[in-house]
Structure 1
Amino acid sequence: MEQEHPNLALVDRFFASYLRRDLAALRALTTTDVRWHFPGPPPLGGEKRGIEEIVAFLDEISTFAFQERCGFRGVNDDHLVEYKRTTRADDGRALDWCVVWTFRAGRISAGAHFVVDAEPVGSFFRR
């Protein structure tokens, strides 16, 4: 049986800690200079710096009703790349993403969403 890569488990622990609202655990899982990039216009788009900004960003996108399906994950010691399809529950619109996680010294140091066309991102996350 193949063992799970530690960086997959690290990302799973990150989201479990986020759902518990455990900021101490999130800080332990991330570097002090952690950053996240999201495409599209502000306020969601742009770079988030530090765990507090990243948590605020996750809180905001969590207010949208959507389902996410992960179609592929590739991982090594430095990166995790995920292909995801996100579908809005209210109107069925979907976006395909690549999410790239970066790791340093056993912690999450960065994350970024990549999409072929950033223009629809702004309208996708608009009420």
Structure 2
Amino acid sequence: GGLEALNGQDPLTIKAFQYDIVCNGIELSSGAIRNHRPDIMLRAFELAGYPAAEVEARFGGMLNAFRYGAPPHGGSAPGIDRIVMLLAEEPNIREVILFPLNQQGQDLMMGAPAPVTPARLKELSLKLDLAPKVKG
């Protein structure tokens, strides 16, 4: 990886600093060394078809943090829920996850998401500017 690879190699041949722990075809943990240089980030987005101005507009906060000298960083996160799924011999992670949502992203136990009352919006000084729902 790195800027040299982005500038001199076919993008499809560049390898990332990523690692996984896999057991019997199931990913248990995943990690990587993260990018921490703005020049590399801008070049990678450029190769993906994004102009620098758009990257600055969308990710300016991160780019500015990198410009101040974010250190190299990385890590790995074990998928404890995946390990429990394997141990419990469950076919779907939703059977063992602590706070499950259904396939529509709803929490049926808590009734979320739910409509917000006008009183709550006023209390929080919020105003919704939503497009009207189209029926049909």
TM-score of Structure 1 vs Structure 2, range by shorter chain: under 0.3
Relative contact order, higher structure (CA 8 A, sep 6+): 1
Larger radius of gyration: 2
Q: Which has the higher helix share?
A: 2
Q: Which has the higher strand share?
A: 1
